[in-house]
Every structure is written in C-alpha cells, then in structure tokens.
Structure 1
C-alpha cells in the first residue's frame, strides 16, 4: 500500500527542484523590467513605463480589496486623487519636500478611508459600490471647487519632482528607478500580506463572512483594515503621479476612472497576484494605441475588453492555468 505524504506542497517542491517561489518570480520579472530605459527608443516609451508602474500600484491595491477582500469599490480613483493633491499641495503651498508628501499622502488617504469605511463598510454589494462611487464624486467636486488650494479645473501647477539635494528627478529616465522600486516594494508588501495570518483572514471573510465570524475572525475590522490599507496604497500611487508629472487635474481622478480600474482588475485577473501587472499594462498602453481612432476609441476599448472577458472569465492571468487544465483533460 502506498502511503501519501502529509505535506503534499513540500513534497511537490522537493520533487521539482526548479520550482520558484512567488517572491523569486516577482524579483525575476521586476529585474527584467529594469532594462526598459536601456531598450526604449525614446523618452516617451520610458514615460509610459513610469505610468505603468504607478498603475500597477493602483490596480494591485484595488485587486487586494476586490479580488481577495471581496469588496467592490467604485471610489479608488478618488483615493488616488486625494493622495496626489495632498502630496502636491504640501509641496506647492507649503514648500515641503516630495519625500514628505509621499508618506503624508499615504497617511491622510488611509485616515480618510478609515473615517468613511466605518459607516460605509456596513453596507454590502450594490449599496457599498454606490456609497464609494458617491465618495469619489464628492472628492472630484472638491478638487474642482477648492480653486485656491487645488487650482480647480485648471489643475495643480508648479509641483516639484522628487530630488536628492540638487539632483532632481525631473525627467523620465531619472524617475524610472524610483517608480520601479516603489512598485516592487508595494508588490512585495501585498505578497507578504496575503501569506500572513491577517491575509488569510481577509480571504476567509471574502469567502464566507458568517463562517469567519463563527471561528473568531472579526469580519468588520478585517474589512476595514484592508480598505484602509488599499486606500493608503492608492495614496502612494497618487503621490508618485503628481511628482512624476508635476501636475494634477481633477479629470484624472473621475468616477469613470474608478470604473475603468475595476474593469482592469477583472481583465488582468481578479484575485490573481499577477493580474494587476497585466491590467496595468493594458490600462497604460491601449489608450495610446487607440489615439488615432479618437472618435471610436471608447468603443474599440470596450469591445476589446469584452472579448477578453468572454474568452477568459478569470482574466488574462487565468489563461495559462485554463490551458493546462484543458491539456490535462485531453491527456486523461
């Protein structure tokens, strides 16, 4: 009689010495992306790469909230904008360094999420979505109306870039290592969070909230924690955005942007660690490809997203596993 090992995961790794951990895979992918400035034909491509890393932070944080936490938020672009304006205003109006604005953006955005999350997270499903959408709409109105602080519809001007003394990160090539590094740290933080006890609690609450409560998990506090954490990450992305572009406009953080971010989570693969990378690449590159089709841009973008979701409901990140299952069934 064959006795099966108790720990099949460890046995599988021992049987496959080439197996790489998710941490190792992430580092390999990120160091491969480090060559972009050396291979890019011009600064414009590097600027798109910078925006892709910022979008990775933004979409990965929303994926943590939606894909793993089970909470649908239509206000993530609002937190993104709040982080951008907090960091930008601290620099423009108060003369503070961008290095001060970055943690301040994360802190204040997280605090705002805490204040909103306490009443809002008692709602579920469609009601939660509508509440977060309303929060995003309120922020956009404030960004437009507080002209003396935010610059209003004309945008926030005069934002200074990150700098090390007299060495300013004022061009795309100089900014690339910073956004590359911050995006890597955020992805590592998410990966470690998911493997932690709290991360397992988040997934348990998303799977069965009543069951999680029954085994001693405080579902409301768990949902509030992940809501605040992901809002802080969006604030970090906003701070990077405003200091990299040295400008912020309310249009960037509109409700439609929040909806598009939700779509990107679904296309990349909701609940997949690698999905946000694919979603961010699409979110950054596709609008640039469709610039020549200005009148039909939205229609073509929507059609492409619809095709992807029909072919692979689990998103682009789910295609490899779907193909493996198909080949396994054929082989069987």
Structure 2
C-alpha cells in the first residue's frame, strides 16, 4: 500500500518525536525539543497563511502573546483552569484576528506587512505598559497545568521536561494533521489558487476576501496555542513573547524550511531553534553566523531548505 504525502509527513514527525530522546545526553535536550515543537506549531499556522494563501504577517507574535497572557491572567481574574484559559485565549485570538483581518487584509504587499507589524507592536506595548495587570516588562507567573500530577497519580512518573516534550510533541502532531487535511480540502485548494493569482481565483468563483480572512484567523489560533504552551511550560511569561523579533523569527522559520510545506516549516523551526545553541561556540559572532546561514539558504534554496534538498535527492535517484 502506497502512503500519501500526508501520511508520510505525519509518520516522519511521529518517528522523530519518539526516537529523538534515545539520543539525548541530558534532560536539557527535552526542553530544546519542546521549544522546537512549540515553534513548529506556530510556524505551521504561518504555512496556512503564507504557504497556502500567499499572505504575509509580521505581527503574529501578538497572537502568541494573547494566548500566553490568557493562560496567566484568566485563572487569576476568572478563576478557570489553565487549560480552559488556553482555549479561551485561542478563541479570543481568533475573534481579534477576524476583526483586525477584515480591514487590513484588503491591503497588499508591504502595506499588509506594515499593518500586521503595527498590530503586533500594539499588543506588545499593551502587555509591557499595563504593569498593574500584566506585570509589565518583569513578566508574570503562570499557574501549573496540573496534568503531570494527574499522570503521577495514575502511576506514570516522568520528569517535567519529559512531560512537556511529549505533550508539545502531541500538540504539534495534531496541528500538522489539521494543516495537512486542510491542504487537500476544498478550502485548501481555494487558498492555493488564491496564492497563485487572486484574479484567476476570483474568476473561478473563489471568495478572495473570505479565504484570506479564514487563513488569517486559523493561523492566529495556531500562534495563540503555541504561546499558551510556551507560557504553561515555563510557568512564567514576559512581553517578549509578543515582540517584533518573535514575529520575524516565525516568518523566517517558515521561509527557511519551506513556507509551502508543513514538514519543511517544522524543519526550519528546528534549525532556527537549535542554531543559537550550536553557535554559542562562536560567542559574539553567533548572530553573524546565523544571518549568514539564512542568507545563503535564501539565495541558493529559494523554495526553502527541505524542499530544495528533497528535489536534489529525487534528481539523483532518477
């Protein structure tokens, strides 16, 4: 039986998640793995927006900030469980994305990028300046999710880093499964037609404005859930989660690995998450080396790192 591309992608992800811990020399690598999965989940949302629909957002970290601070503030002010707070943050992010997206998605090119950038900066400013509520630049504590304690009561003991590695890995698999199903659905085909040409897509009956907005809302929910997972894992959050650089990192991860590929974007998230750990040997040259790697990929592998490598391997095999 021949496996579909969706099945192959999910199988590769599942195998990597299960097998990788056998090569971890310390528990620190579980934390790095969890960060890769969280970034991968956020970037999967960028694939839907950028890779499928062809739209660019430079402010998606704002939605990650909403999700993260939702987990911190909702249990305090609403008295709900952190898991419900994460769901509430995703709902709020989706609603805000709908309201914000309706006007700004009428823009194109760098105008759209600047508009989304402004939204992200606005969210970061609110989180940093509302000290009485958010804790300001010093950040705020986040309640424990409580699932590890529940698993311990059921006789399944594991370290905190191991729990979050597995939990975020499952979240990434679920997010990838949803994105891959969307790719092959009528909505996904409409989004890809929109990416190719808005005029051509409109000619064949695609509601361009609605499809753009739908992709924007879905990607915002992905970013919000990723922000919530980051906050719950660290048990502490600062406004940096909604910062400009975080938005740029998300876009760079998607483009680096291949914005049109779910597996490629996750691969890009893995590289960009691990590179700062590897390049610490270069001390003050770390950012220069990181920038050089990204420039070389953008010049010689315009479709992204993973799709370009796979294309070369297929060419050698034929």
TM score, norm. by length of structure 2:
0.92
Give the whole-Å Cα distance in 1 for the aligned partners of 2:132 and 2:19: 42
Q: 1:28 to 1:268 in 2, by over 3 A?
A: same
Task: Kindly provide the CA deviation profile for residues 264-291 of structure 1, in whole angstroms up to 9, marking residues without a partner as x.
Answer: 2111012123211211111210111223
Quote the residue 1:271 is aligned against.
260
Give the whole-Å Cα distance in 2 for the aligned partners of 1:195 and 1:162: 36
Match for residue 129 of structure 1 among 88, 113, 117: 113
Task: Kindly provide the CA deviation profile for residues 45-87 of structure 1, in whole angstroms up to 9, marking residues without a partner as x.
Answer: 0000111111110111112111111001101111111111112
When the two chains are superposed, the root-mean-square deviation of aligned CA atoms in Å is 2.0
Quote the residue 1:100 is aligned against.
84
* Higher Cα radius of gyration: 1
Give the whole-Å Cα distance in 2 for the aligned partners of 1:233 and 1:257: 15
SS of aligned partner of 2:191: helix
- Say if 1:99 and 1:162, in contact at 8 Å, map to a contact too: no
1:216 CA displacement = 1.5
Quote the residue 1:141 is aligned against.
125
Quote the residue 1:46 is aligned against.
30
Give the whole-Å Cα distance in 1 for the aligned partners of 2:49 and 2:226: 15
Q: 1:203 to 1:173 in 2, by over 3 A?
A: same
Q: 1:215 to 1:27 in 2, by over 3 A?
A: closer
Q: 1:327 to 1:165 in 2, by over 3 A?
A: closer
Question: Higher relative CO (CA 8 A, sep ≥ 6), structure 1 or 2?
Answer: 2
Q: 1:170 to 1:106 in 2, by over 3 A?
A: farther
Quote the residue 1:74 is aligned against.
58
SS of aligned partner of 2:188: helix
Aligned residues: 312
Matches within 5 A, 1:142-221: 142-163=126-147, 166-167=150-151, 171-221=160-210
Quote the residue 1:28 is aligned against.
11
Match for residue 244 of structure 1 among 224, 230, 233: 233
Are 2:83 and 1:116 equivalent residues in the alignment? no
Give the whole-Å Cα distance in 1 for the aligned partners of 2:282 and 2:212: 41
Task: Kindly provide the CA deviation profile for residues 206-251 of structure 1, in whole angstroms up to 9, marking residues without a partner as x.
Answer: 1111121122211000100110011011111111110011111112
- Say if 2:24 and 2:30, in contact at 8 Å, map to a contact too: yes
Match for residue 286 of structure 2 among 293, 297, 320: 297
Quote the residue 2:303 is aligned against.
314
- Say if 1:97 and 1:162, in contact at 8 Å, map to a contact too: no
- Say if 1:92 and 1:160, in contact at 8 Å, map to a contact too: no
- Say if 2:227 and 2:241, in contact at 8 Å, map to a contact too: no
Deviates more, 1:250-259 or 1:225-234: 250-259
Give the whole-Å Cα distance in 2 for the aligned partners of 1:240 and 1:312: 32
1:300 CA displacement = 1.2
Deviates more, 1:240-249 or 1:301-310: 301-310
Give the whole-Å Cα distance in 2 for the aligned partners of 1:198 and 1:304: 35
1:321 CA displacement = 4.1
1:165 CA displacement = 6.2
TM score, norm. by length of structure 1:
0.88
Which structure 1 residue ranges, 5 or more long, are not aligned?
A: 1-16
Are 2:246 and 1:257 equivalent residues in the alignment? yes
